[in-house]
Amino acid sequence: MLSPQVSKALNKQIEVEGFSSQYYLAMASWAETQGLNGVSAFLYHHADEERMHMLKLIKFVNERGGHGVVPALKQPPVTYKSVKSVFEEILKHEMKVTSDINSLVDSTLKEKDYSTHNFLQWYVSEQIEEEALARQIVDKLKLIGDDKGGLYFFDRDLEAMAKTMGTKETEEKKK
Ligand code: OFO
């Protein structure tokens, strides 16, 4: 059974993951209107992943006798300055999410809730990957600068990446 403190902290994280999904969905939609099909495919996929992060938490809270609360929708920004600024925002956002996960892990230790602590290790590893990927993409975009041809190939790379991400997920579900 979850303590009220851990239950509250997990529900706060459900809200964070839900907002991440909305945020990336708004970025995906903006990128699509700019003709950046690869960037938008990648971001639509990322938005789905964040929804899955939220769902995983809801199910865990319910399994442990709590109540996973579906949060209200908060509107993310509608337009973005550039592709580079989108990925810079993602990196900044993911760094904040990492610190939220760390505080959450901290509260499970304070409450001596070792099973939630164990469950959260998946999120700890996921955050390392998400931050590393965002950082790698920001670095690539810095190299590209204002080169339109470079941006075209970058968009194609992200399209390919989005396809691999889809395949990886299907394989994981089969396991
Ligand atoms: Fe859920 O990892 Fe990003 O926010």
What are the chain's domains?
Answer: 4-174 (1.20.1260.10)
**pLDDT, tens digit (0-9, with 9 covering 90-100), for 81-105:** 999 999 999 999 999 999 999 999 9
Closest atom of ligand 1 to 54 CA is: 1
Confidence (pLDDT) at 170: 62
* Amino acid symbol at 61: V
Report whether residue 94 contacts ligand 1, using a CB cutoff of 6 Å.
yes
130 in contact with ligand 1, CB cutoff 6 A = yes
Residues 130-137, mean pLDDT to the nearest whole number: 98
67-85: pLDDT as tens digits: 999 999 999 999 999 999 9
Residue 148 has pLDDT above 60, yes or no: yes
Residues in the chain: 175
Whether pTM exceeds 0.85: yes
Q: Is 114 exposed, middle or buried (0-12, 13-18, 19+ CB in 10 A)?
A: exposed
Q: Is the Cβ atom of 89 under 6 angstroms away from ligand 1? A: no
Res. 175: pLDDT tops 60? no
pLDDT at 168 (0 to 100): 64
Model confidence at 165, in pLDDT bands (50, 70, 90)?
A: confident
Residue 17 Cα to ligand 1 midpoint, Å, equals 6
Lookup result for tokens 């790698």: 136
Instruction: State yes or no: pLDDT of 155 exceeds 60.
Output: yes
Give the pLDDT confidence score for residue 174 in this predicted structure.
58
**pLDDT surpasses 80 at 167:** no
What does the pLDDT look like over 15-74, one tens digit per residue?
A: 999 999 999 999 999 999 999 999 999 999 999 999 999 999 999 999 999 999 999 999
What secondary structure does DSSP assign to 76-123, as a single string?
A: PPS--S-HHHHHHHHHHHHHHHHHHHHHHHHHHHHTT-HHHHHHHHHH
Number of helices and strands in the chain (H, E): 5, 0
